[in-house]
A = this chain, B = another copy of it.
Amino acid sequence: MARRSDHTREEIHLMALEAAEAIASQEGLSGLSARKVASKIGYTVGTLYLVFRNLDDLILQVNDRTLSQLYQEMERVSAKPKKPEACILALSHTYIEFASNNTARWSMIYEHVLEDDFVLPAPFQQQVQQMFALVENALRPLGKNKSDREIAQAARALWSGIHGICLLALTRKLDIAGIDSVQDLADTLTVNFLNGFREN
């Protein structure tokens, strides 16, 4: 038995999240179980429930970390100065590449379905908004006469669209294969959308 005070609550918390990430990466959401996570960090199920409210809680926190990683990669790309169109294409490529390299964890964000009454935790919502903000910033120079509301709307539309392509392709519900064709599809959506969106 793990001896008392071998690890603080915080340490156990972190260890569990990392273990869960490893399991989810290899076996997907359906392969993730409380007992597996517990045994991987050298504790038993009970301990997990001292640190997380339940499995949903743990999954939500793993997803939050994944989203955070994705955001950081996008921010890094977005920081390099580029023409607006190139910036959006680069963001889209980064998104797709992340989803492609971390398919299991990325899918988990969307596979995990919330209870009917459940409201997303604030940090999670903020992550999403931060991501949209990157797209909005890149979009703004292309629509100088457009209102903030229109820019926000466009960013959401375009990004949800890219997300949809990514999702259908990587979950193999679409009859396409390979990361290149995903990129191509996303480029098609982006280029045509920007052509229509751009003013002049």
Contact = CB atoms under 8 A, between A and B. Distances in A.
Contacts of A197: 192, 195-196
A2 to B, nearest CB: 32
A162 interface: yes
Interface string A26-45: 00111000000000000000
Given A164-B165, A194-B196, A189 B114 contact: no
B185 A160 contact: yes
A157 interface: yes
B164 A30 contact: no
A131 to B, nearest CB: 11
A120 to B, nearest CB: 7
Interface in A145-182: 153-154, 156-158, 160-169, 171-176
Please state the number of chain copies in the assembly. Answer: 2
A126 to B, nearest CB: 10
B173 A186 contact: no
Q: Can you list the 10 inter-chain pairs with the closest CB atoms, starting with the nearest?
A: A164-B164, A161-B161, A195-B196, A196-B196, A192-B196, A157-B189, A157-B188, A160-B165, A160-B164, A163-B164
27 contacts: A29-B113, A109-B173, A110-B171, A113-B171, A125-B175, A128-B173, A128-B174, A128-B175, A129-B175, A154-B192, A156-B165, A157-B188, A157-B189, A157-B192, A160-B168, A160-B174, A160-B185, A160-B189, A161-B165, A164-B164, A164-B165, A164-B166, A189-B193, A192-B193, A192-B197, A193-B193, A195-B196
Interface of A: 28-30, 107, 109-111, 113-114, 120, 125, 128-129, 153-154, 156-158, 160-169, 171-176, 184-186, 188-189, 191-197
